[in-house]
Chains A and B, each alone.
Chain A
């Protein structure tokens, strides 16, 4: 079957390819932008920490503002369901344990669902 010459033109292939890529990307974004951030809080030995207060900071133009708060469960798991940003920081705090380092989490699009690969870890209590 002969392909029409206009169909093989770069003026059709390049914009068409870009449009197709954009549509696929938008479809992927639409299915993964619920604003869910899952993670875990552990102590220095890697044991889950329950009842830790986890703060979510959202990136502004030059600073980060606190936007959310969650508490870890018995397995040390926590979940945010309303993140709307593309760049966040997470920090956990618990009585007697101090604070964890702030974890920078950069996302590919706003409100991307994400699960932290590495847990938030408290330093050893001295």
Chain B
């Protein structure tokens, strides 16, 4: 490598490091405020935490029913993740098959992605109410049970599996269900990881839908608890930021655990060969 090329690589790395650092600043600031009681509007702000402690997290745990919100969020996200993997795998597999009207279905799916959830929230609410799922865990997870983006992730992952393998499985007598479970899903782990991460984060951070369909405070999830906490505290104390950190931590953990497969899942099918 020539000297100029080395300099270019170093400059690129330096730029990327600066951008990464800039993106991490808000997370650092939230965490720093969570472990101190410093007002975020304090001037001049201190870059490093002074008199850091973890008691704000203890306050959050006891001042509001945090464990209840946490359990609710975990249950709802788990239902959403399981539903997504099952239904999206089925839909993704169907879209790899040839059938009459396949192009129409694909076009319909793609066009539906253009419609924001806020526009369909009233029909979604009415359907959920008709099914008697208001104020239930299943109702909270209901609109997240299948998402079009994740269907396409499975579709592209299944299309990357050699057709001869599926044909061989069919000749061996496997049914369509077993082809998905025994052949395609084990070869599509990155797609599963992508589904898990995206669905978990979407479900975990979902605010509007739980706000609409929960009646009982005991059914509220963490984002609703955060809003409730904010309405009580009404200032910029460390406890509020400790709550934000406690809400963020699980989704960051899930992402970090599955990031390798996640990136592979998103890029599979992006290149040929």
- In the assembled complex, A28 has its CB within 8 A of some CB on chain B: no
- In the assembled complex, A107 has its CB within 8 A of some CB on chain B: yes
Q: Quick check: which of B58-66, B167-175, B214-222 contacts chain A, the rest being far away?
A: B58-66
Residues of B within 8 A of A (CB): 53, 55, 58-59, 61-63, 232, 253, 257
Number of interface residues of A (CB under 8 A): 14
Determine if A108 and B58 form an interchain contact, defined as CB atoms under 8 angstroms apart: yes
User: What A residues does B61 contact at CB under 8 A?
Assistant: 86
CB distance from A19 to the nearest CB of B (A): 13
- In the assembled complex, A106 has its CB within 8 A of some CB on chain B: yes
- In the assembled complex, A83 has its CB within 8 A of some CB on chain B: no
Determine if B58 and A109 form an interchain contact, defined as CB atoms under 8 angstroms apart: yes
Can you sample 25 A-B contacts with CB below 8 Å? A10-B257, A11-B257, A14-B253, A14-B257, A59-B59, A59-B63, A61-B63, A61-B232, A62-B232, A85-B62, A86-B58, A86-B59, A86-B61, A86-B62, A87-B55, A87-B58, A87-B59, A87-B62, A106-B53, A106-B55, A106-B58, A107-B58, A108-B58, A109-B58, A110-B62
- CA distance in complex: A87, B58 (Å): 9
CB distance from B31 to the nearest CB of A (A): 19
- CA distance in complex: A106, B53 (Å): 10
User: What B residues does A86 contact at CB under 8 A?
Assistant: 58-59, 61-62
- CA distance in complex: A85, B232 (Å): 19
Q: Which residues in chain A, 13-59, are within 8 Å of chain B measured between CB atoms?
A: 14, 59
User: What A residues does B55 contact at CB under 8 A?
Assistant: 87, 106
CB distance from A65 to the nearest CB of B (A): 14
Q: Which residues in chain A, 88-118, are within 8 Å of chain B measured between CB atoms?
A: 106-110
CB distance from B60 to the nearest CB of A (A): 10
A-B complex: 8 closest residue pairs judged by Cβ atoms: A106-B55, A86-B62, A86-B58, A10-B257, A61-B232, A110-B62, A61-B63, A14-B257
- 13 other A-B residue contacts (CB within 8 Å) besides A11-B257, A61-B63, A61-B232: A10-B257, A14-B253, A59-B59, A59-B63, A62-B232, A86-B58, A86-B59, A86-B61, A87-B55, A87-B58, A87-B62, A107-B58, A108-B58
User: What B residues does A109 contact at CB under 8 A?
Assistant: 58
CB distance from B166 to the nearest CB of A (A): 27
- CA distance in complex: A66, B225 (Å): 27
CB distance from B73 to the nearest CB of A (A): 16
CB distance from A64 to the nearest CB of B (A): 13
- CA distance in complex: A107, B58 (Å): 8
- CA distance in complex: A61, B55 (Å): 15
- CA distance in complex: A54, B63 (Å): 25
User: What B residues does A107 contact at CB under 8 A?
Assistant: 58
Please name the residue on chain B nearest to A107 by beta carbon.
Answer: B58
Please name the residue on chain B nearest to A109 by beta carbon.
Answer: B58
Please name the residue on chain B nearest to A86 by beta carbon.
Answer: B62
- CA distance in complex: A108, B54 (Å): 9
- CA distance in complex: A107, B55 (Å): 8
User: What B residues does A61 contact at CB under 8 A?
Assistant: 63, 232
- CA distance in complex: A14, B258 (Å): 12
User: What A residues does B53 contact at CB under 8 A?
Assistant: 106
- CA distance in complex: A85, B58 (Å): 11
Please name the residue on chain A nearest to B64 by beta carbon.
Answer: A61
